[in-house]
């Protein structure tokens, strides 16, 4: 069987970053989607970066386009950081309007641009959608040291707005997949199908923990099997 190569462009979810529950800091997990793929003899060039937005992803692609062109399949995963806000500013000035790191229209346009540039290389492309977040965990982790009343005022009185806003970016990914006629690695359904998906997330409510990384791995592996890509050596 011919050996194939997988390329990944994304953020910390695909990088395998987890929140260490004891040290309370982010670190590379010993078990991640990438390490599990490599154990299956799947060759992975992982260009995912911690904190990456779609605009940063475009720059990573442009710096590494020649190497990426040699891959047989590219998986793209962005949106979590793009949808995030500056919670310190919101806490200080809840009466003001605050934009996310990447406004929704810009997110879709930049994502489309990346897809088109990948296609121009002759790449087969799949989009990975976003695992759901736990809005209460997210709020407690990122806003616990802030004026929570102010943040809740800006949120309209409920942390559920964080979930809905994150879901809006996920929907844009699904819309782009339909528009660009691209397959989707549906990790979101994998998480939502379990009774307590929050058990697969770190304390911050957004990064998959070790078990969550395994869920990402199985979603990618199953996707590659379904489309008939012989990625194993």
pLDDT per position as a tens digit, 105-143: 999 999 999 999 999 999 999 999 999 999 999 999 999
Contact 176, 115 (CB under 8 A): yes
Q: For residues 44 and 6, what is the distance between their CA atoms, to the nearest angstrom?
A: 5
Number of structural domains the chain divides into: 1
Number of alpha helices (DSSP H) and beta strands (DSSP E) in the chain: 11, 7
Strand order from edge to edge, sheet including 73-77? 43-46, 5-10, 73-77, 125-128, 184-185
Calculate the alpha carbon distances from 122 to 58, 65, 165, 228, 230 in Å.
17, 12, 33, 18, 18
77 occurs within a structural domain: yes
Q: Is 131 inside a domain boundary?
A: yes
Task: Check which CATH number belongs to the domain holding 118 and give it.
Answer: 3.40.50.1110
What would you report as the CA-atom Rg of the chain, rounded to the nearest whole angstrom? 18
8-state DSSP, 229: -
- Closest C-alpha to 76, from 130, 16, 3: 130
How distant, in Å, are the alpha carbons of 57, 80, 119, 222 from that of 12?
12, 9, 24, 21
Range of the domain at 110: 5-226
Cβ 13 vs Cβ 220: under 8 Å: no
Report residue 18: phi and psi, to 5°: -125, 165
Assess whether pLDDT exceeds 80 at residue 227.
no
Domain assignment of residue 22, yes or no:
yes
Q: Which of these ranges, 33-42, 55-64, 74-83, 167-176, has the smallest mean pLDDT?
A: 33-42
Task: Please answer whether residues 102 and 183 qualify as being in contact, where contact means their C-beta atoms are separated by less than 8 angstroms.
Answer: no
Instruction: Give the pLDDT of residue 58.
Output: 98
Q: What is the mean pLDDT of residues 14-42?
A: 94
Tell me what pLDDT residue 5 has.
84
Query: Residue 69 domain-assigned?
Result: yes
Q: Quick check: is 170 in a domain?
A: yes
The answer to the question of residue 39 being in a domain is: yes
- Asked if residue 233 belongs to a domain, the reply is no
179 confidence band (pLDDT: 50, 70, 90): very high
Q: Distance between CA 160 and CA 145 in Å, rounded?
A: 19
Indicate whether 37 belongs to any domain. yes
pTM of the model: 0.94
Please tell me the distance from the alpha carbon of residue 82 to that of residue 59, in angstroms, as a whole number: 15
**In terms of C-beta density within 10 A (0-12 exposed, 13-18 middle, 19 or more buried), how is residue 165 classed?**
middle
Quick one: pLDDT band at residue 4, thresholds 50, 70, 90? low
């Amino acid at each position: 069987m011919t050996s194939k190569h997988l390329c990944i462009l994304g953020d910390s979810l695909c990088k395998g970053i987890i929140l260490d529950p004891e040290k309370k800091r982010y670190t590379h997990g010993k078990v991640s989607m990438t390490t599990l793929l490599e154990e299956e003899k799947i060759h992975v060039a992982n260009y995912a970066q911690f904190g990456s937005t779609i605009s940063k992803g475009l720059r990573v692609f442009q710096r590494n386009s020649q190497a990426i062109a040699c891959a047989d399949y590219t998986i793209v995963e962005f949106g979590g950081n793009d949808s995030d806000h500056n919670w310190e500013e919101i806490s200080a000035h809840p009466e003001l309007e605050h934009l996310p790191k990447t406004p929704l229209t810009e997110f879709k346009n930049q994502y489309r641009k990346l897809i088109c540039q990948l296609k121009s290389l002759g790449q087969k492309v799949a989009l990975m959608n976003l695992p759901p977040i736990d809005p209460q965990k997210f709020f407690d982790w990122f806003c616990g040291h802030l004026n929570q009343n102010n943040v809740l005022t800006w949120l309209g009185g409920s942390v559920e707005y964080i979930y809905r806003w994150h879901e809006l970016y996920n929907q844009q990914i699904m819309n782009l997949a339909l528009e660009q006629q691209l397959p989707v690695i549906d990790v979101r359904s994998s998480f939502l199908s379990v009774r307590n998906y929050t058990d697969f997330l770190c304390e911050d409510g957004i990064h998959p923990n070790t078990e969550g990384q395994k869920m990402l791995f199985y979603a990618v592996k199953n996707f590659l099997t379904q489309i008939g890509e012989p990625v194993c050596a």
